[in-house]
């Protein structure tokens, strides 16, 4: 059989375009090497090509096996984890916030809205899951420019309503910069100190947009950029940029240390007051420390197994706690007030198991772009959850956008499900996306494509082979 005809038959069995192109290229290279070896033994070019195709074995069998291996595969366990947490979150919101006599003036209308937000988020997650995440590594600078540009233009143009000198309702959108930044890091690999510099500048630009345009909720966007910083150091540690690890850490450490000193030196008066109130709320009980001192008093009154409303009433804290805006920010603390501390600790334990599973999945990802994006998205969601729990008990200085699955809000809910959709897309395409089309051939006659080897087992008597033995390495 001629080489082109053989490869056409193989490619006809592979449905994914990228897998097809890569497999055909690597098989062609392997067959060319085999043909060259046959020519060296005295065969003509035509005979050598036919012999190379014959040694590869049946093309349909090889193509079908490659198609089976390199096919999107849904990560159903993660999908059902997400569905279970979605249902649990809505149930706890109803029991702890909306189903307790409409405390704080809340009505069932808000619960119905959150149900719709959750269903919409699941729809967005499903759509993103079907999307090929590897596009993050294609033109990421253009994507990042468009993303930050749209936010900046929206604010400067005045087409959006301003709140308290900024656009705090846009703060959750900065979470989406994390997977984009994974693509930026991936595109700068091998560029040395220049690539490190470009990657660092992107964090600075994103911070400038967040602080200068979004304004309120800077701590939320700070979470996203803190995760980007961790991702940058992870890339340096993995020598993505081609810079030795120690030199890369030293250079990056100097830059980020200087940036931290500059930020501390430019803290504003109200920010310093918040820091003082956090460590000594009793000295600012009527000003900056009032809020956190009241929350800490409520946390100290919690019952381990029972509802704590009666205790709060006895302590004179119920009027403060029943304010709707207070409860909306403290859903974890609200669950502890209604259900007791023991059940709330159990819920937090489930969150911990969920994030351990996500980190385990990210660690298993072999594609560098997918691993970095998965790590960034998981770290961001975990950081938000940990900080929110700490904030709920007066142990964190600044507020967060909320806690995944459990907080009320449209944009936050949709953004969280968007990040989860990216995670599902990464794991769904695990067998499709490879970093570099690499082929390594050994004395066993195998050709390596991605993470798999097609091995041709020769029959010494017939000088022929049987293809189709595809094994993972």
In this prediction, residue 428 has a pLDDT band, given cuts at 50, 70 and 90, of confident
pLDDT in the model for residue 290: 72
Q: Distances from the Cα of 406 to the Cαs of 90, 241, 384, 385, 428, in angstroms?
A: 7, 39, 12, 10, 26
How would you classify the pairing of strands 452-459 and 464-472? antiparallel
Over pLDDT 70: what percentage of the chain?
Answer: 78
Average pLDDT, the chain: 80
Distance of CA 360 to the CA centre of its chain: 13
SS (H, E, C) 122-144: HHHHHHHHHCCHHHHHCCHHHHH
In this prediction, residue 400 has a pLDDT band, given cuts at 50, 70 and 90, of confident
d(CA 386, CA 352): 9
- Contacts made by residues 210-213, CB under 8 angstroms, sequence distance 24+: 210/171, 210/174, 213/151, 213/152, 213/154, 213/155, 213/156, 213/166, 213/167, 213/170
Whole-model pTM above 0.75?
Answer: yes
Element (H, E) at 56: helix 45-56
The secondary structure of residue 163, as a DSSP letter, is B
pLDDT in the model for residue 158: 66
d(CA 89, CA 405): 5
pLDDT in the model for residue 444: 45
Per the CB < 8 A criterion, the answer to whether 296 and 395 are in contact is no
Q: Distances from the Cα of 244 to the Cαs of 230, 255, 436, in angstroms?
A: 18, 17, 21
Residue 43, CB-side half-sphere exposure with 13 Å CA sphere: 15
The pLDDT tens digits of the residues spanning 7-62 come to 788 777 777 676 777 777 778 888 888 888 888 888 888 888 888 878 877 777 77
Per the CB < 8 A criterion, the answer to whether 181 and 376 are in contact is yes
Torsion of CA 448, 450, 452, 458, to 10 degrees: -20
In this prediction, residue 470 has a pLDDT band, given cuts at 50, 70 and 90, of very low
Angle at 78 between CA 21 and CA 177, to 5 degrees: 70
In this prediction, residue 435 has a pLDDT band, given cuts at 50, 70 and 90, of low
Element (H, E) at 472: strand 464-472
Q: List phi, psi (to 5°) of 127.
A: -65, -45
User: For residue 459, is pLDDT > 70?
Assistant: no
Sign of the C-alpha dihedral computed for residues 275, 281, 284 and 287 taken in this order = positive
User: For residue 460, is pLDDT > 90?
Assistant: no
Distance of CA 219 to the CA centre of its chain: 19
Per the CB < 8 A criterion, the answer to whether 141 and 199 are in contact is no
Tokens describing residue 418: 């968007």
Tokens describing residue 347: 């819920």
Per the CB < 8 A criterion, the answer to whether 290 and 302 are in contact is no
The secondary structure of residue 467, as a DSSP letter, is E
Torsion of CA 15, 21, 25, 28, to 10 degrees: 40
pLDDT in the model for residue 136: 86
Per the CB < 8 A criterion, the answer to whether 97 and 336 are in contact is no
User: For residue 140, is pLDDT > 70?
Assistant: yes
User: For residue 101, is pLDDT > 50?
Assistant: no
Q: Which residue has the higher pLDDT, 397 or 1?
A: 397
Within 10 angstroms of residue 287's Cβ, the number of other Cβ atoms is 10
Entry field: residues in the chain: 473
């Amino acid at each position: 059989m001629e080489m082109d005809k053989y490869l056409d038959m193989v490619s006809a069995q592979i449905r994914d375009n990228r897998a097809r192109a890569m497999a055909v290229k690597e098989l062609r290279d392997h067959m060319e090497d085999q043909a060259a070896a046959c020519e060296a033994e005295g065969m003509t070019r035509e005979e050598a090509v036919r012999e190379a195709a014959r040694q590869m074995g049946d093309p349909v069998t090889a193509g079908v096996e490659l198609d089976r291996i390199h096919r999107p595969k849904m990560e159903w366990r993660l999908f059902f984890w997400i569905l279970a947490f979605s249902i649990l979150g809505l149930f706890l919101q109803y029991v702890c916030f909306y189903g307790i006599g409409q405390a704080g003036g809340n009505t069932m209308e808000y619960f119905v809205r959150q149900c719709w937000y959750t269903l919409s988020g699941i729809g967005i997650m499903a759509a993103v899951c079907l999307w090929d995440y590897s596009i993050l590594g294609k033109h990421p600078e253009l994507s990042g420019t468009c993303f930050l540009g749209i936010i900046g233009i929206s604010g400067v143009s005045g087409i959006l309503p301003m709140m308290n000198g900024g656009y705090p309702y846009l703060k959750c959108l900065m979470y989406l910069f994390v997977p984009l930044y994974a693509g930026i890091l991936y595109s700068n690999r091998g560029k040395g100190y220049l690539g490190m510099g470009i990657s660092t500048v992107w964090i600075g630009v994103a911070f400038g947009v967040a602080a200068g345009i979004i304004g309120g909720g800077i701590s939320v966007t700070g979470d996203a950029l803190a995760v980007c910083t961790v991702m940058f150091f992870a890339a340096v540690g993995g020598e993505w940029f081609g810079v030795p690890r120690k030199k890369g850490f030293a250079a990056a450490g100097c830059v980020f240390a200087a940036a931290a000193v500059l930020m501390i030196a430019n803290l504003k008066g109200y920010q310093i007051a918040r820091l003082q109130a956090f460590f000594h709320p009793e000295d600012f009980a009527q000003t900056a420390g009032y809020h956190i001192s009241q929350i800490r008093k409520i946390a100290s009154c919690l019952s381990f197994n029972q509802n704590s409303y009666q205790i709060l009433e006895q302590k004179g804290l119920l009027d403060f706690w029943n304010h709707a805006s207070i409860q909306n920010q403290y859903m974890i603390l609200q669950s502890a007030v209604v259900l007791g501390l023991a059940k709330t600790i159990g819920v937090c334990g489930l969150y911990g198991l969920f994030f351990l599973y996500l980190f385990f999945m990210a660690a298993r990802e072999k594609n560098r772009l997918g691993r970095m994006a998965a790590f960034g998205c998981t770290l961001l969601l975990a950081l938000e959850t940990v900080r929110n729990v700490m904030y709920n008990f007066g142990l964190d200085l600044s507020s967060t956008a909320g806690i995944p699955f459990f907080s009320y809000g449209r944009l936050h809910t949709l953004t969280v499900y968007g990040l989860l959709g990216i995670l599902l897309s990464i794991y769904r395409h695990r067998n499709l996306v490879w970093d570099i089309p690499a082929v390594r051939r050994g004395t066993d006659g195998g050709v390596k494509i991605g993470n798999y080897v097609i091995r041709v087992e020769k029959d010494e008597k017939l000088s022929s082979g049987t293809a189709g033995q595809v094994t993972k390495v």
